[in-house]
Amino acid sequence: MAQHNELGKLGEEKAQEFLLEKGFKILKTNWRFGKEEIDVIAEKEDHLAIVEVKSRMSGAFGSPQEFVGIGKRRHLIRAADAYVTQNSVEKDVHFHIIGIIFKPKLKFIFIPEAFYP
């Protein structure tokens, strides 16, 4: 497995731990709809959380969340719509981003309701 894939997998695991500590219930990880993928689907209280995780070894080239552009947002919205339809979800859907920087020390950047469909 390529090093960036390993970093991404580790980041997603750390993000799940972070969400659990914040009171979220993890429903699915790496859920796919065609070519689109949602890193984490979780729920908390009255909403469904669609979570994009971006991991970087350091913040030298910008914050991880800066790399969630309009194209990625469109893919997430399309995949979330499919998930909601397939699972008859009747909760509000919120799109969150978790940026993770590993060095010099582990840092989480949580952006709740990062964008809207």
Amino acid at 96: H
Query: How is domain 3-115 classified at the architecture level of CATH?
Result: 3-Layer(aba) Sandwich (3.40)
Q: Which residues of 11-48 are buried (b: 16+ CB within 10 A; e: fewer)?
A: bbebbbebbeeeebebeebebebeebebbbbbebeebb
Amino acid at 86: Q
pLDDT of residue 50: 98
The residues that bridge with 36 in the sheet, in sequence order, are: 33
Instruction: List, as own/partner pairs, every contact residues 103-106 make where C-beta atoms lie below 8 angstroms and the sequence separation is at least 24, other chains included.
Output: 103/57, 103/58, 104/58, 106/14
Please, what sign has the CA dihedral across residues 20, 43, 65, 68? positive
- Left if phi > 0, otherwise alpha if psi is -120 to 50, otherwise beta: which for 30? left
Tell me the whole-structure pTM to 2 decimals.
0.91
Total residues found in the chain within this entry? 117
pLDDT of residue 18: 97
Q: Which of 57, 38, 54, 61 is nearest to 109 (CA)?
A: 54
Each residue of 4-63: pLDDT tens digit? 678 889 999 999 999 999 999 999 999 999 999 999 999 999 899 999 999 888 877 777
pLDDT of residue 1: 54
Each residue of 77-95: pLDDT tens digit? 999 999 999 999 999 999 9
pLDDT of residue 8: 85
For residues 109 and 62, which has the higher predicted lDDT (pLDDT)? 109
What are the boundaries of each domain within the chain?
3-115
